[in-house]
């Protein structure tokens, strides 16, 4: 993370550009700026912390598509230090498949002088112990397009061809204005930067509230990748972003269409079952010691509200 001179939060969005594709072919969509790795059941391990919104989306898509027995999952704990995420939830603090204490070890195994932040999600090549990619938007994209032979029979069509153009636009706005918008508020380095970020965020949330007033999911009657991408921010909104990041015009529970939509998604096991509010709160309130120097983790809000009937047909 970094700050521009005027105090606006700027995210370092440069990731390892490798992709995993069927037969290591050139993918139909997106750039090929790195190496291509072949789809191979049992070869790769997804390392994704449930505290992290970018990582949680990969866990959700993996489960929605039925890839649990094809791509294994390693889950670091909710906090990390300046070096990297650690496997402190596993016995002895060691990932049972990779045999490492930190995901940093997989990065350095491939790039001894890796110059950027050690992030999750990351996919690791188990035989070599080397990181393959941490480019999270393309990880979930390729789970759908490149791993199709391993999808379960009733897997949802997360990228419907007839909606793709509009969906790309919706997801771009969700990323810039909402997923990243809450961080732009929380890490603003000046009042002016914060005020501008706050206004942008709530303009987007009002647009989403209106959009969901007339449709079940973001793209219509069926679940898509766009819903996964929005979900991880909504799940963290009242617990973290409303107070910790000062996104406090309203709580999610006060936005009737977004709140009903969020509860409907929570009722889907891939969403609710991979949402750990205690890990989420511990991550933000402990790791961001510049924002919360006491590192005190709040007890609320009560997660039982997520189980209330969503009332959506």
Which residues does the annotation mark as catalytic? 52, 183
CB-based burial, 14-23: b 16+ in 10 Å, e otherwise: ebbebbbbbe
List 240's β-bridge partners, or say none.
none
DSSP state of 175: I
CB 145 within 8 A of CB 27: yes
Determine the Cα–Cα distance for residues 182 and 238; give it in Å rounded to an integer.
12
**Cα dist. 92→81, 88, 130, 274 in Å?**
18, 7, 21, 23
**Cα dist. 302→49, 252, 280, 305 in Å?**
22, 13, 14, 6
Helix (H) or strand (E) holding 38: strand 36-38
> Residue positions in the annotated binding site for glutathione?
85
CB-based burial, 93-114: b 16+ in 10 Å, e otherwise: eebeebebbbbbbbbbbbeeee
Give how far the C-alpha of residue 200 lies from the chain's centroid of Cα atoms, to the nearest Å.
20
What's the sign of the alpha-carbon dihedral 22, 228, 129, 96? negative
Helix (H) or strand (E) holding 229: helix 225-236
> Residue positions in the annotated binding site?
85
Longest distance between any two alpha carbons in the chain, whole Å: 53
């Amino acid at each position: 993370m970094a700050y521009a001179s005027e105090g606006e939060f700027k995210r370092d969005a440069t990731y390892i550009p490798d992709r995993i594709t069927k037969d290591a072919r050139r993918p139909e969509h997106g750039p090929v700026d790195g190496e291509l790795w072949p789809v191979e059941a049992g070869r790769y391990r997804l390392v994704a912390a449930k505290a992290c919104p970018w990582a949680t989306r990969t866990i959700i898509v993996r489960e929605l598509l039925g890839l649990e027995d094809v791509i294994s999952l390693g889950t670091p704990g909710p906090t990390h230090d300046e070096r990297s995420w650690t496997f402190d939830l596993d016995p002895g603090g060691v990932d049972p498949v990779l045999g490492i204490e930190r995901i940093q070890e997989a990065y350095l195994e491939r790039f001894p002088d890796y110059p950027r932040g050690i992030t999750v999600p990351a996919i690791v090549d188990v035989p070599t112990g080397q990181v393959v990619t941490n480019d999270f938007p393309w990880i979930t994209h390729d789970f759908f397009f490149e791993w199709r032979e391993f999808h379960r029979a009733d897997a949802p069509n997360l990228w419907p061809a007839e909606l793709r153009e509009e969906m790309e636009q919706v997801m771009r706005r969700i990323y810039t204005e909402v997923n990243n918008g809450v961080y732009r508020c929380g890490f603003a380095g000046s009042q002016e930067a914060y005020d501008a970020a706050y206004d942008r965020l709530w303009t987007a949330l009002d647009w989403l509230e209106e959009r969901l007033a007339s449709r079940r999911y973001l793209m219509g009657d069926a679940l898509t990748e766009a819903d996964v991408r929005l979900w991880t921010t909504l799940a963290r909104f009242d617990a973290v972003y409303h107070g910790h990041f000062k996104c406090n015009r309203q709580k999610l529970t006060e936005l009737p269409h977004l709140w009903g939509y969020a509860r409907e998604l929570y009722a889907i096991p891939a969403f609710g079952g991979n949402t750990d509010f205690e890990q989420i709160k511990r991550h933000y309130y402990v790791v961001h010691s510049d924002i919360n120097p006491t590192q005190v983790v709040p007890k609320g809000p009560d997660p039982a509200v997520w189980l209330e009937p969503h009332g959506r047909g």
